[in-house]
């Protein structure tokens, strides 16, 4: 067996490698999966997900804790199942996600319900199954939840999400902890919100929650947010309201383009030292990682359809599009793109990698050096998070198939969506 040398190999995610001149996920060649299942195709490494989870588990070892995977990152049932079996709880933001959580057999007490717009129906649904906690994001939501719970003869376990006005230094669309964001309750209103919640007969205060954003690559914002939350816990408990658990959310980034986020175990060892120093070492900790568990575990395979050289730009047209990989169009996000079978002796050219959707915003990567021919298969790396979960049927395109790799075994976990699947609920006049 030979391993491809050079900068391409050095920038591959864990459990993705070139062997015998072809790209592999764990022990499975991606060219064979593209041939068997077609493209676009999402392929995930089970080992990569569990390795990322293990880093959090090491960091929190010896402490009472609950790691709830933020399933909005990727809610495919087999992925949820793999993470739940490995000890994860789940963080949900809708009734649909609750149904997915229950479908994989999770104990509902290990589910946290986040999100700013929970409906009464979703509240009833969660209370009926015995949800672990509601992360409440406004005073109005608190009052509605109190009313719903009292009507059912229950008490809803609640945690108030704090907006600490901490800059996560990330893209504005995925920043959630500033005053200008829609999330959480303003720092200065938190104490009065807790005393109000404690007086509501349909509520049971169990925790406090903070989530400042996504794709965070520095430790500083976490430390700042933790200090502000612990300051609030001291004030809340001085007012007679006990806090059982502290939820620090998620948001830890991954390496898309030379990003260097701290390792999860290193980050949490530092944060736990901070908690110990402030006298909170006995508190249960909840966290809600999403991207950092699944982002680097996934690749999207796409076939080169056409090469279109131009006077100002060269366009490399592939069969994956913004409906399959929304992040570049939405966030101007970067994903590395590499050939599945490299043409090592060919001359590379500079291409904008674009999809077939009728939008100028339909691009996957800009100014990429690639040596390719039509019919070649490319791998879009670090595509496990916020790609398939945000995929759509724009241009009446069926959503991609998904495969989960476990060692040398590959399991089809979602069939390719057909036109019949798309139109099943539609009716002609």
Quick one: 121 and 259 in the same domain?
A: yes
Q: Is 408 exposed, middle or buried (0-12, 13-18, 19+ CB in 10 A)?
A: exposed
Query: How many domains in the chain?
Result: 2
Tens digit of pLDDT for each residue in 250-293? 888 998 988 888 899 999 998 999 999 999 999 999 999 999 99
- CA dist 378 and 363 (Å) reads 14
> Residue 90 falls within a domain, yes or no?
no
| CA 365 to centroid of chain Cα atoms | 21
| CA-closest candidate to residue 191, choices 219, 168, 160 | 160
CATH number at residue 277: 3.20.20.10
Q: Are residues 403 and 313 in the same domain?
A: yes
Q: What percentage of the chain reaches a pLDDT higher than 90?
A: 82
Whether 55 is covered by a domain: the verdict is no
CATH number at residue 30: 2.40.37.10
In the prediction, which pLDDT does 211 show? 86
Least confident of 44-48, 194-198, 279-283: 279-283
| Threshold 0.85, pTM exceeds | yes
Of 77-81, 115-119, 250-254, the least confident? 250-254
166 lies in the same domain as 20: no
In this predicted structure, what is the pLDDT of residue 179?
47
Per-residue pLDDT at 9 exceeds 70 = no
Same domain for 208 and 316, yes or no, is no
CB 380 within 8 A of CB 39: no
| Tokens standing for residue 335 | 């994903």
The pLDDT score that the predictor gives to residue 176 is: 44
User: What pLDDT is attached to residue 171?
Assistant: 39
Minimum mean pLDDT range among 21-25, 95-99, 162-166, 213-217:
162-166
311 and 411 share one domain: yes
Mean pLDDT, to the nearest integer, of 366-381?
Answer: 97
Q: Residue 11 pLDDT more than 90?
A: no
Residue 10: band (very low, low, confident or very high) from pLDDT cuts 50, 70, 90: low
**Residue 256 shares a structural domain with residue 399:** no
- Tell whether 133 and 254 lie within a shared domain: yes
Span of 6-10, 94-98, 306-310 with lowest mean pLDDT: 6-10
Per-chain mean pLDDT for the chain:
92
Instruction: State the catalytic residue, choosing from 210, 286, 300, 358.
Output: 358
Beta 377-380 vs 349-354: how paired, if at all? unpaired
105-111 mean pLDDT: 98
Could you tell me if residue 67 is inside a domain?
no
Q: Return the higher-pLDDT residue of 389 and 174.
A: 389
pLDDT at 143 over 70: yes
Same domain, 311 and 170: no
Report whether pLDDT(335) > 50. Answer: yes
154-168 residue pLDDT tens: 999 999 999 876 644
Numbered residues of the known binding site for substrate: 291, 327, 331, 359, 386
Beta strands in 20-163 (DSSP E): 22-25, 28-29, 41-45, 65-70, 89-92, 111-113, 133-136, 156-163
341-362 residue pLDDT tens: 999 889 999 999 999 999 999 9
Domain presence at residue 283: yes
For residue 233, the SS3 value is helix
Confidence class for position 207, pLDDT limits 50, 70, 90? very high
Q: Is the pLDDT of residue 175 over 90?
A: no
Residue 225's pLDDT band (boundaries 50, 70, 90)?
Answer: confident
Annotated binding site: 251, 288-291, 327, 331, 359, 386
Q: Tell me, yes or no, whether 303 and 407 share the same domain.
A: yes
Residue 140 belongs to domain spanning: 114-289
Percent share of the chain, pLDDT over 70: 93
- Indicate the Cα dihedral angle 406, 27, 33, 6, nearest 10°: 130
Q: 88 an active-site residue?
A: no
What pLDDT, on a 0 to 100 scale, did the predictor assign at position 382?
Answer: 97
Average the pLDDT over 245-250 and give the result: 92
Binding residue ranges for pyridoxal 5'-phosphate: 251, 288-291, 386
């Amino acid at each position: 067996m030979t391993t491809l040398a050079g900068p391409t190999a050095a920038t591959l995610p864990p459990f993705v490698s070139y062997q015998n001149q072809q790209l592999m996920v764990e022990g499975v060649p991606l060219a064979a999966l593209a041939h068997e299942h077609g493209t676009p195709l999402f392929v995930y490494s089970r080992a990569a997900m569990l390795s990322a989870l293990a880093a959090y588990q090491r960091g929190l070892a010896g402490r009472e804790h609950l790691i709830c995977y933020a399933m909005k990152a990727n809610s495919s049932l087999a992925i949820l199942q793999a993470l739940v079996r490995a000890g994860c709880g789940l963080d949900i933001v809708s009734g649909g996600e609750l149904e997915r959580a229950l479908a994989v057999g999770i104990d509902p007490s290990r589910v946290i319900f986040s999100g700013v717009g929970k409906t009464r129906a979703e509240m009833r649904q969660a209370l009926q199954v015995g949800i672990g906690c509601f992360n409440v994001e406004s005073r109005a939501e608190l009052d509605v939840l109190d009313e719903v719970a009292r009507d059912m003869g229950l008490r809803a376990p609640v945690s108030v999400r704090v907006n600490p006005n901490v800059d996560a230094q990330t893209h504005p669309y995925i920043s959630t902890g500033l005053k200008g964001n829609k999330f959480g309750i303003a720092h200065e209103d938190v104490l009065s919100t807790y005393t109000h919640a404690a007086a509501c007969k349909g509520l049971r205060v169990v925790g406090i929650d903070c989530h400042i954003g996504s794709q965070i690559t520095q430790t500083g914002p976490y430390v700042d947010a933790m200090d502000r939350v612990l300051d609030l816990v001291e004030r809340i408990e001085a007012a007679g309201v006990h806090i059982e658990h502290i939820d620090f959310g998620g948001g830890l980034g991954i390496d898309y383009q030379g990003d260097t986020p701290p390792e999860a175990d290193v980050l949490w060892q530092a944060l736990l030292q901070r908690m110990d120093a402030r006298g909170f070492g006995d508190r249960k900790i909840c966290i809600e990682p999403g991207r950092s568990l699944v982002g680097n575990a996934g690749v999207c395979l796409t076939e080169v359809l056409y090469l279109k050289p131009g006077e100002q730009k060269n366009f490399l047209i592939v069969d994956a599009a913004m409906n399959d990989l929304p992040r570049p169009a939405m966030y101007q996000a970067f994903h590395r793109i590499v050939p599945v079978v490299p043409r090592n002796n060919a001359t590379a050219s500079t291409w904008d990698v674009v999809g077939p959707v009728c939008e100028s915003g339909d691009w996957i990567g800009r100014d990429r050096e690639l040596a390719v021919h039509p019919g070649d298969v490319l791998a879009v790396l670090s595509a496990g998070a916020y790609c398939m979960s945000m995929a759509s049927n724009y241009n009446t395109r069926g959503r991609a198939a998904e495969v989960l790799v476990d060692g040398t075994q590959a399991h089809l976990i979602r069939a390719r969506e057909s036109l019949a699947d798309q139109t099943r609920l539609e009716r002609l006049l």
